Amino acid sequence: MDRIVIEGGRPLHGEIRISGAKNAALPLIAATLLAPGWHTLHNVPNLRDTRTIMALLQSMGVQWQWEPDGPLRINSEHLVGNEASYDLVKTMRASILVLGPLVARLGCARVSLPGGCAIGARPIDFHLRGLEKLGCTIDLQDGYVAARIDGRLQGNTVTFDIPSVTGTENILMAAALAEGDTVIKNAAREPEIGNLIDMLILMGCAIEGCGTDTLVVHGMRELRPAEIAIIPDRIETGTYLMAVGAAGGEVVLRNCNPEHLPSLLEKLQAVGLEIECGADFIRVARSAPLQSADITTMPFPGFPTDLQAQFMALMSISTGVAVIHENIFENRFMHVAELRRLGAEIRVDGHTAIVTGVDRLHGAQVMATDLRASASLVVAGLAAEGSTIISRIYHLERGYADLVAKLAGVGAAIRKEKEPS
């Protein structure tokens, strides 16, 4: 098993190129199941999660080609299977995204209840109730979701109790092949959903309301293959912005979209970072002590829950007290204990963390508990004095492409090595 070692206290200088968004790539890959023929996806990040979903599709007869630094080409013409087995689904909750496309195209699907990071319940009830509204019969059997329809899915109105990103994506894909119109109310508005809508439109589906909480999908009898680029990863972008904030220095992030991070950029300016934005770049610099700021995680365009842990690490070296409210997931403070090992002063009260800034953090051995918690330990390690050793980095590799190389390229003393036996 591998680990990451960071010698902290070194300012960062240079440029980092942002990869494609994991949370956009996964639903777009799933959407290729809707139409036979060769789809072409550009800017796909080479991650553990993208490789997992491609292995899942391959197990169902899907062909794919992916050259280094080239586009991912996928052909589901010879789709023969409709089952997503536990062995593949257990490591990645987003595997549930194949449920809607499989039912819409084949009329039935059997998908294992998903796994992934243990940051909260994240029930799939939204997906199942939405598919039932479109005419699916759903049964839970031995840890699997079994879905089937007679004929085609039927357009209907689907209303989410709270905005669900993957729920919205699953219903969007299913509705694209439904008979008639489907209205999705209280839909999530994240940029990754916009990327999926763009792909479905290229595939021949008419969709209204992109960027709003009400989507209207005009279902089609059949769709065609598409060619599209994955949007830049806003969570990777935010993580590197806060890495510079923690370590100091000046870095330009390329191939990113500042419009996808309105709340974070506002907070980073409030804590004292210099932020300059262009159409596809962000320059960040820190030349003064960090000020404290409060955040509350919210659906887009609010502060992303996927950046909460990294912001907490940043606030641990601020000059003041920051209050962090986690409104999305009920168990997303598992990184607190590990940040305390580095010297952070953090008190947790239910869904709220109170962070009292300290003068400096100190390197220690820490353990990653989930994907974004891993990133927070990297941010903290860059600021800490001495050596920080992060174990269980397979979590990190689910969502960050070439993180060690990218940080080393801007001056961080960081390396990946084997755990001692």
List, for residues 74-102, the tens digit of each pLDDT value.
999 999 889 888 887 777 777 889 999 99
Q: Are residues 86 and 224 in the same domain?
A: yes
What's at 138, amino acid-wise? I
Span 372-391, mean pLDDT?
95
Least confident among 105-109, 121-125, 327-331 = 121-125
Number of domains in the chain: 2
Q: How much is the pLDDT for 331?
A: 64
Q: Put the strands of the sheet holding 345-349 in their side by side order.
A: 295-296, 321-325, 352-356, 345-349
Q: Which of 166, 200, 229 is the last residue of a domain?
A: 229
Q: Are residues 273 and 220 in the same domain?
A: no
Measured CA distances, 236 to 32, 73, 122, 273 (Å): 25, 24, 22, 18
pLDDT digits (tens, 9 = 90+) for 245-263: 999 999 999 999 999 999 9
Q: How much is the pLDDT for 133?
A: 97
Q: What are phi and psi of 369, to 5 degrees?
A: -110, -20
pLDDT band for position 300 (cuts 50, 70, 90): very high
Measured CA distances, 25 to 41, 42, 45, 189 (Å): 8, 9, 8, 16
**Choice between 142 and 338, residue whose per-residue pLDDT is larger:** 338
pLDDT digits (tens, 9 = 90+) for 399-411: 899 999 999 999 9
Query: Could you write out the DSSP letters of every residue in 208-228?
Result: E-TTSSEEEEE--S-----EE
Question: Given the structure tokens 């009920």, which residue do they identify?
Answer: 330
pLDDT at 273 over 80: yes
Q: Are residues 262 and 393 in the same domain?
A: yes
Q: Are residues 262 and 403 in the same domain?
A: yes
Burial tier of 417 (Cβ tally within 10 Å: 0-12, 13-18, 19+): exposed
H-only helix segments in 271-327: 308-315
Q: Are residues 183 and 108 in the same domain?
A: yes
Q: How much is the pLDDT for 117?
A: 36
Q: How much is the pLDDT for 119?
A: 32
Q: Are residues 200 and 320 in the same domain?
A: no
pLDDT at 121 over 70: no
The enclosing domain of 48 has a CATH number of 3.65.10.10
Q: Which of 209, 229, 249 is the last residue of a domain?
A: 229
Is-cis flag, bond preceding 191, omega within 30? no
Q: Are residues 147 and 279 in the same domain?
A: no
Q: Are residues 73 and 90 in the same domain?
A: yes
Catalytic positions, written as ranges: 117
Q: Which of 214, 229, 244 is the last residue of a domain?
A: 229
Q: Are residues 54 and 192 in the same domain?
A: yes
Q: How much is the pLDDT for 198?
A: 98
Cα distance between residue 366 and residue 192, in whole Å: 32
Q: Are residues 207 and 291 in the same domain?
A: no
The boundaries of the domain holding residue 321 are: 2-19+232-418
Span 293-316, mean pLDDT?
96
Q: Are residues 12 and 161 in the same domain?
A: no
Span 143-156, mean pLDDT?
93
Q: How much is the pLDDT for 258?
A: 98
Q: What is the pTM of this model?
A: 0.95
Q: How much is the pLDDT for 369?
A: 85
Cα distance between residue 57 and residue 60, in whole Å: 5
pLDDT band for position 120 (cuts 50, 70, 90): very low
Tabulate helix, strand, coil % of the chain (nearest 5).
Answer: 35, 30, 40
Span 295-312, mean pLDDT?
96
Q: How much is the pLDDT for 316?
A: 98
Measured CA distances, 129 to 125, 126, 160, 168, 197 (Å): 6, 5, 9, 12, 21
Longest dimension (CA), the chain: 65
Q: Are residues 264 and 348 in the same domain?
A: yes
Span 368-394, mean pLDDT?
93
Least confident among 117-121, 132-136, 280-284 = 117-121
Q: Would the CA dihedral through 239, 245, 249, 255 be positive or negative?
A: positive
Span 23-37, mean pLDDT?
97
- Mean of all residue pLDDT scores within the chain: 93
